[in-house]
Chain A
Amino acid sequence: MTLDSVSSLTPAAPAIACETLVELKNVSFGYTKARQILSGINLIVPRGKLVAVMGGSGCGKTTILRLLCGQIKATSGDVLVSGQSVAEMNHEQMYAHRRRLGMLFQFGALFTDQTVFENIAFPMREHTELPEEIIHDLVLMKLNAVGLRGAAKLKPSELSGGMARRVALARTIALDPQIALYDEPFAGLDPISLSVVGQLIRRLNDALGMTSILVTHDIAESLKIVDYIYFVSAGKVVAHGDVEAIKASTDPFVRQFVDGQPDGPVGFHYPAKALAEDFA
C-alpha cells in the first residue's frame, strides 16, 4: 500500500489505496455556532493501519475520537465506520458499534474502586458469558502483554502513571477490538514509559490485526510507530502524509511542529489586543 506524501493545507482527504475503515467526510462540529471545534475536516483511516492525528492543545483532536465513539454528533458532514454513518445509528447499532471499539482515555479512566484485574475483566464480564476461569486466563494474558501480570491485584491508586496507562491499554484491547482509539497515550509519561507504551501500541495493532487512531502531540514518539499522520489546526486538516514525507516536509506548520518551534503558523500568543493598548 502506498500512502500519499505530505499534502499541505489540502481540504480533501488523501486517496489511500487500501480498504477504508474509518472516514470523516467534510465534518464540522461546534458546541455553539460561535465556538466551532471542527470545520469541514476530511480524514481517512485504512484498515490495519496506525494513524496519528496531531496538533496543538484544543485543536479538536479529541473531538474526532468522541465523534467516532458516537458520544457527540457532527453538526454537518459524515463520520463513517465500515461505511456506516455513526450519526445515523440507533441505540442498538451504537452499542454494537462501541463493542467493536476500544478506547484509551487521556488519563486512563480506570475504575478506581476495582483492582487492575477487575478493570480488565470488566468489559468481558459485561459483554460475554464466559466462565470466570476463562476470564481469569484472558485477563492475565492481556496483562502479560503489557508486562503487568504481577500487578493484577493492585488498585489503580497504587500504580504509577506509566503503569496505569498500560493497564488502560490492556483494558482497551480486552475484547480484541476492531478499532483502537488512543487519546493522548503519552501525556505525562517518563521517557521509558513513553517508549514502552508507544511500542505496545504498535505491536498490539499488528498482532491483533486492529486499526488504530492515535491522538497525540508527541511528534517524536509518533514518528517512530505510526503509518500515517494528519495534522489538525483550528479544526482543519492542515497537512498529512506518511512518516518519511512528514520528516522531509518544508511546510511551515509541519516544520514548526516537528522542530518544536515556539512561534510560527501556530502563534505563541492567544489572540489579544495590541500590547500598548493593554498597558495604556
Chain B
Amino acid sequence: MNGIARLLTKLGASVTGGIARLGFATRFFVAILRLSGTTFARPQLLLREVYQAGVLSLIIILMSGLFIGMVLALQGYETLVRFGAAESMGMLVALSLVRELGPVVSALLFASRAGSAITAEIGLMKTTEQLAAMEVMAVDPIARVVAPRFWGGVISLPLLAALFSTLGIYGGYLVGVRLIGIDSGAYWGQMSAAVDWKYDILNGVIKSLVFAVAISLIAVFEGYDATPTAEGVSAATTRTVVTSALAILALDFVLTVIMFRGGAG
C-alpha cells in the first residue's frame, strides 16, 4: 500500500511539476515579448545573434541541403522511371523540399547546432553569475540576453530553410540533369508549373517560422532555467535538442494537416 502511495505521490509531483514548468515557460515567453523593445532599438544586439545562430549554421545547412537534394533525386528517379515519369523529377524534388524537408530538416539541424549553443551559453552565463551580475547592475537579463537570442533564432531559421531548399533543388539538378541526363527544361519547367507560390512556398515559410519560434523559445528557456552546475547545463542542452526535435515533428504533423489536407488550393 505504501509502495502504491509513494508511486502516486511521485506521479502527482511530476505532473504538478510539469504543469508549473509549463506555466513558467508561458510567463517567460510573455516576458520576452514584453521586453523585446531593447532588441529592436539596438540592432547591433540582434545582428550579433543572427550571426551566431544563422551565419554560423550556414555550412551544415547548405551542405545538408545539397546532399539531401542529390539523394532525393537519385531515389526519386528510381521510382519515377518505373512509371515513365522521370521528367517529373524537378517537381518531386522541389515539392518535397519546399513543403516538408526544407522546413523540417533545417529546423532539426538548427536545433542541434544553434539551439544547443544558445542553451549552453545562457546556462553557463547563469552558472558563472553573469546573469545575476546583470540583474544587480539593474539590467534585465531577459531584455539584454534572452530576447536578442530569441529573435535572432526566429529571424535566422526561415532564411536558413530557404537556403536549404534552394541548395537541395540545385543538388537535385546536379544529379537529375547532369548525372542521369534528364532534360534541363523538363526539370525546371515541371518544377515551376507545379510549385504554387502561396500553397507551397508560403506554407513552407510559415512552417519554418513556427518551428523557429518553438526552437528559440525552448533553447532560451532551457538555458535560463538550467540548474547552475556543469551537469545542469549539460542536461539543459540535451533537453533543448530532444524537446525541439519532438516539438518540430509534432508541430509539422499538425501544420501539415491544417495546410495540405484539402489538396492543392
Please report A residues at the B interface, Cβ cutoff 8 Å. 69, 71, 95-96, 98-99, 101, 103, 105-107, 109-112, 122-123, 126-127
Contacts and interface: CB of A to CB of B under 8 A. Distances in A.
Contact of B137 (A71, A106, A122): A122
A107 B129 contact: yes
B136 A107 contact: no
B128 interface: yes
Contacts of B254: none
Q: Which 9 interchain pairs have the tightest Cβ spacing? A: A109-B133, A98-B138, A109-B129, A95-B138, A103-B136, A99-B138, A105-B129, A69-B136, A126-B139
Contacts of A103: 133, 136
Contacts of A96: 138
Where chain B touches its partner, the secondary structure class is: helix
A278 B153 CA distance: 55
22 contacts: A69-B135, A69-B136, A98-B135, A98-B136, A98-B138, A103-B136, A105-B132, A105-B133, A106-B129, A109-B130, A109-B132, A109-B133, A111-B125, A111-B130, A112-B125, A122-B137, A123-B137, A126-B137, A126-B138, A126-B144, A127-B137, A127-B138
Most A C-beta atoms less than 10 A away, residue of B133, B135, B144: B133
Interface residues of B, number: 13
Interface in B115-133: 124-125, 128-130, 132-133
B128 A71 contact: no
Task: Select the residue from A71, A109, A110 with max chain B CB neighbours within 10 A.
Answer: A109
Contacts, number: 46
Given A107-B129, A109-B128, A112-B124, 11 more contacts: A69-B135, A71-B136, A101-B136, A106-B129, A109-B130, A111-B130, A112-B125, A122-B137, A126-B138, A126-B139, A127-B139
Contacts of B124: 112
A192 B131 CA distance: 30
Contacts of B125: 111-112
Contacts of A101: 136
A71 B135 contact: yes
A179 to B, nearest CB: 11
Interface of B: 124-125, 128-130, 132-133, 135-139, 144
Contacts of B133: 103, 105, 109, 111
Contacts of B144: 126
A111 B133 CA distance: 9
A101 B133 CA distance: 11
A247 to B, nearest CB: 33
A69 B130 CA distance: 15
Nearest to B129: A109
A221 to B, nearest CB: 22
Contacts of A105: 129, 132-133
Contacts of A110: 130
A106 B128 CA distance: 10
A107 B128 contact: yes
A217 to B, nearest CB: 19
B124 to A, nearest CB: 8
Contacts of B132: 71, 105, 109
B130 A112 contact: yes
B137 A98 contact: yes
A112 B133 CA distance: 12
Which of B124, B128, B132, B136 has the most chain A CB atoms closer than 10 A to its own CB?
B136
A109 B138 CA distance: 15
A109 B130 CA distance: 5
Contacts of B137: 98-99, 122-123, 126-127
A242 B130 CA distance: 34
A90 to B, nearest CB: 14
Nearest to B52: A113
A20 to B, nearest CB: 22
Nearest to A126: B139
Nearest to B135: A71
A106 B130 CA distance: 11
A177 to B, nearest CB: 10
A99 B139 CA distance: 9
A111 B132 CA distance: 11
Contacts of B136: 69, 71, 98, 101, 103
A4 B139 CA distance: 38
Contacts of B129: 105-107, 109
Nearest to B144: A126
A112 B138 contact: no
Contacts of A98: 135-138
Contacts of A71: 132, 135-136
A106 B136 CA distance: 14
A123 B128 CA distance: 18
